[in-house]
A and B are shown apart, each in its own frame.
Chain A
Amino acid sequence: DTGVSQNPRHKITKRGQNVTFRCDPISEHNRLYWYRQTLGQGPEFLTYFQNEAQLEKSRLLSDRFSAERPKGSFSTLEIQRTEQGDSAMYLCASNHRGGTDTQYFGPGTRLTVL
């Protein structure tokens, strides 16, 4: 078990392009979370999954954003028609319901939209 992993670590794209990020949680964890962090701010909650079910989505998650966790293991976060305001660090975390509730964070994907 090597912890939560995220790919890619960095993504530079032009405005209007679509991007997709991947998160692989710790293997036995059934909860997975996405957060977004802009410079100088704390992370903000975007959405979370319990197994394959997406149980809550923040109002920050506009209709250009979609997240999936098809088999209850890894998750993807897609942003369509990227805007400069989407530039941020996208963080993934996982934990196990009924465990210590500590959320274990991945290294993040830094998105830059030109």
Chain B
Amino acid sequence: KQEVTQIPAALSVPEGENLVLNCSFTDSAIYNLQWFRQDPGKGLTSLLLIQSSQREQTSGRLNASLDKSSGRSTLYIAASQPGDSATYLCAVGGTYKYIFGTGTRLKVLA
């Protein structure tokens, strides 16, 4: 059974810092891995999708990496801003459904 863990559970950083969020999963037979952002009381916004054959994806200040053999993914956020404050969720995909981690709550202080 696939289990997804995200560390840390919460993170508070000053504006401008670079930071790394971690995601680990127990079964390396995945189809893809996706990072989402969730603002309080809202739905999920897709940030980056990495297919199982890929090693990383980049979008603006965000970079996500995937190491299937070790069951790990990282989300790197460069030059963090207060607007980045949200919960970041990692989701591991099979052929259809996602298994989500419990998220990292990020607060970027101005």
User: Residues on A close to B: CB < 8 A?
Assistant: 4, 6, 31, 33, 35, 40-45, 48, 55-56, 91, 93, 100-108, 110
Contacts and interface: CB of A to CB of B under 8 A. Distances in A.
A55 B102 CA distance: 26
B85 to A, nearest CB: 17
A48 B97 contact: yes
B89 A45 contact: no
Contact of A42 (B43, B46, B93, B103): B103
B81 interface: no
Nearest to B105: A40
Given A40-B102, A42-B103, A102-B49, A107 B42 contact: yes
B19 interface: no
Interface of B: 4, 31-32, 34, 36, 41-46, 49, 51, 89, 91, 93, 96-103
Nearest to B46: A102
Contacts of A48: 96-97
B42 A108 contact: yes
B98 A45 contact: yes
